[in-house]
Amino acid sequence: MKIITIASLKGGVGKTTIAAFLGQAIRKRKKILVCDIDPNNNLTDFFLRDVDIKELQSRNIYHGLTGRKELSDCIFKTGFDIDCVPATPELAMVGSELMNDFGSVIRFESDLKSLKYDLILIDTPPSLTYELQASIYVSDLILCPISYNRWTVHGYQLLENQVLKQKKAGKKIKLLGVPSMVTAKKSEALSDVDEIPLTKTHILKSEALENAIILGTALKESSNAWIQFDSLAKEVI
Amino acid sequence: MKIITIASLKGGVGKTTIAAFLGQAIRKRKKILVCDIDPNNNLTDFFLRDVDIKELQSRNIYHGLTGRKELSDCIFKTGFDIDCVPATPELAMVGSELMNDFGSVIRFESDLKSLKYDLILIDTPPSLTYELQASIYVSDLILCPISYNRWTVHGYQLLENQVLKQKKAGKKIKLLGVPSMVTAKKSEALSDVDEIPLTKTHILKSEALENAIILGTALKESSNAWIQFDSLAKEVI
């Protein structure tokens, strides 16, 4: 099993968009679980928007992390032939609860690895919270959406520092930038940022993409956006 | 002196937009300092986009919070006749550094109150970090941008719980929702959410507003958006 985390210390760079559509492209090839570990729960809103809030509150990633429920009991079926562990805003409390419970992240990793999926894709909050640190710890690959902004390299390096800490602890984690939500022109400029190893696939800004994420719908498989996610899927699985 | 914090546990609800333009509207009446305490530093990018990254890294809110520099030495002049304490992504580390330094928030409050301004306006990250908690602690008034989303009431209540904790510690903090980035129709619907005390002023979604925040420019004082912020300023100062 492979665990891929989408992470960035900048907000608004397309983390949830990538998680939603990369997840769908991977599903064409692998049995995949998406896991929302962001208290802002936008991925949950995408995949499970018809599920009642009370139902989401009764079993979600918070219960899995704190051991109140088995992680496997927190899995929902979605309309996309993808399973999903949702998050609710209460997840924001998990850090103060588990901060000094050093075993909690190790339990999270073994719980994830005991699930019957080929690949788990995790969406994370844009800040150095417990949730993000735990996701880094359990990952084989971290994809960091990179947009063309003067803080880009800087934000990437901060994330890289966190990955290096886990590497020192013996973890094998690969970190890759994904040029994301950029125009074709800026996408070209990003290829010159040689401090950051980038995926070959760039995700270009597009209205079809923005609409699909807002409406919670799939992309047309003939669309440019879909072709990009399909190519990204091939690159990372 | 009054300290107003813009806070929400949902991202993308217009916190930075409100901080930027409410700040400008308040400046017409009061001597104001804006303080960016979000590692995502979008308010810094709005007010100080021409300042070199190295210069911003040498003195910012992180140095003020950790006591490495006097807070007063971390103030920059902006082109908007408003002073600004910037943030950089390094701020994300401050929580792990100060988490158990219980005096740090009290020092932050007295440092802020020793500054020569009528009003300080603080922009915060959308997660329950040290930065947000510290901002709540020092505030007289917290404005929570509310957009029309099924998690709205829920996110507000989580914030309210944090405010209640500080109230139990004897702090007098007022919490108000600001209907934000909503269409006129949804703005009306929000008036019915009776769990949340709302400002009379609603900030409506508008392209002029989105462009101004992206471009880092002021609003035309004849524009609807400006009139809304001016009205909000009158309501909250």
Q: Which tokens in the block code for residue A135? A: 């996701």
How far is B150 from chain A, CA to nearest CA, in Å? Answer: 8
Q: Which tokens in the block code for residue B117? A: 């301004």
Q: Which of A50-59, A175-184, B141-150, B151-160 has maximum average pLDDT? A: A50-59
Instruction: Decide which of B50 and B189 is more confident.
Output: B50
Tens digit of each residue's pLDDT (9 = 90 or more) over B130-140: 999 999 999 99
pLDDT mean over B57-73: 98
8 Å CB contact of B89 and A150: no
Range with lowest mean pLDDT among A107-116, B36-45, B167-176, B184-193: B184-193
Distance of CA B143 to the CA centre of its chain: 8
- DSSP letter, residue B217: -
* Residue A87, SS3 per DSSP: coil
Q: Is the pLDDT of residue B190 over 80?
A: no
Terminal CA-CA length for chain B = 10
Distance of CA A146 to the CA centre of its chain: 14
Instruction: Decide which of B47 and B187 is more confident.
Output: B47
Query: What pLDDT sits at residue A150?
Result: 83
CB-based burial of residue A126 (10 Å sphere; 0-12 exposed, 13-18 middle, 19+ buried)? Answer: buried
Q: Is the pLDDT of residue B194 over 80?
A: no
Tell me whether B126 touches chain A (CB under 8 Å). Answer: yes
Query: What pLDDT sits at residue A56?
Result: 98
Distance CA B189, CA B194 (A): 11
Q: Please say whether the beta carbons of B175 and B160 come within 8 A.
A: yes
Instruction: Decide which of B186 and B1 is more confident.
Output: B1
Query: What pLDDT sits at residue B159?
Result: 95
How far is B31 from chain A, CA to nearest CA, in Å? Answer: 30
8 Å CB contact of A92 and B9: yes
Tens digit of each residue's pLDDT (9 = 90 or more) over B162-172: 999 999 999 99
- Give which of B24, B28, B49, B45 is closest to B36, Cα–Cα: B45
How far is B236 from chain A, CA to nearest CA, in Å? Answer: 27
Q: Which of A187-191, B132-136, B183-187, B205-209 has maximum average pLDDT? A: B132-136
Buried b (16+ CB within 10 A) or exposed e, B121-134: bbbbbbbbbbbbbb
Those residues with Cβ within 8 angstroms of residue B60's Cβ, 6 or more apart along the chain or in another chain: B44, B74, B85, B86, B87, B88, B91
Those residues with Cβ within 8 angstroms of residue A236's Cβ, 6 or more apart along the chain or in another chain: A4, A22, A141, A143, A176, A199
In CATH, which superfamily holds the domain spanning B2-236? P-loop containing nucleotide triphosphate hydrolases (3.40.50.300)
Top residue of B88, B98, B151 to mutate, by most chain A CBs within 10 Å, is: B151
- A2-223 belongs to which CATH class? alpha beta
**How many C-beta atoms surround the C-beta of residue A183 within 10 A?**
12
Supply the angle between the helices A130-138 and A103-113 in degrees, to the nearest 10: 50
Tell me whether B237 touches chain A (CB under 8 Å). Answer: no
Please report, for chain B, the start and end positions of each structural domain, with discontinuous segments joined by +.
Answer: 2-236
Q: Going residue by residue through chain A (237 aa), what tens digit of pLDDT does each one get? A: 999 999 998 888 899 999 999 999 999 999 999 999 999 999 999 999 999 999 999 999 999 999 999 999 999 999 999 999 999 999 998 998 998 898 999 999 999 999 999 999 999 999 889 999 999 999 999 999 998 788 888 889 999 999 999 999 999 999 999 999 888 888 887 777 778 999 999 999 998 998 999 899 999 999 999 999 999 999 999
Which segments of chain A does DSSP mark as H helices, in order?
A: 15-27, 42-47, 53-58, 61-66, 94-98, 103-113, 130-138, 152-168, 184-190, 207-215, 224-236
Q: Is the pLDDT of residue B186 over 90?
A: no
- Give which of A185, A181, A186, A223 is closest to A6, Cα–Cα: A181
CB-based burial of residue A170 (10 Å sphere; 0-12 exposed, 13-18 middle, 19+ buried)? Answer: exposed
8 Å CB contact of A95 and B10: no
Distance CA B48, CA B216 (A): 9
Task: Catalogue the E-assigned strands of chain B.
Answer: 2-6, 32-36, 76-77, 83-85, 119-123, 141-146, 174-182, 203-204
DSSP A104-165: HHHHHHHHHHTSS-SEEEEE--SS--HHHHHHHHH-SEEEEEE-S-TTHHHHHHHHHHHHHH
Query: What pLDDT sits at residue B130?
Result: 93
8 Å CB contact of A9 and B39: yes
Average pLDDT score over chain B: 94
Distance CA B28, CA B14 (A): 21
8 Å CB contact of B158 and A9: no
Q: Pick left, alpha or beta for residue A81 (phi over 0 → left; psi -120 to 50 → alpha; otherwise beta).
A: left
Distance CA B60, CA B85 (A): 6
Q: Please say whether the beta carbons of B28 and B174 come within 8 A.
A: no
Residue carrying the six token digits 């936008």: A42
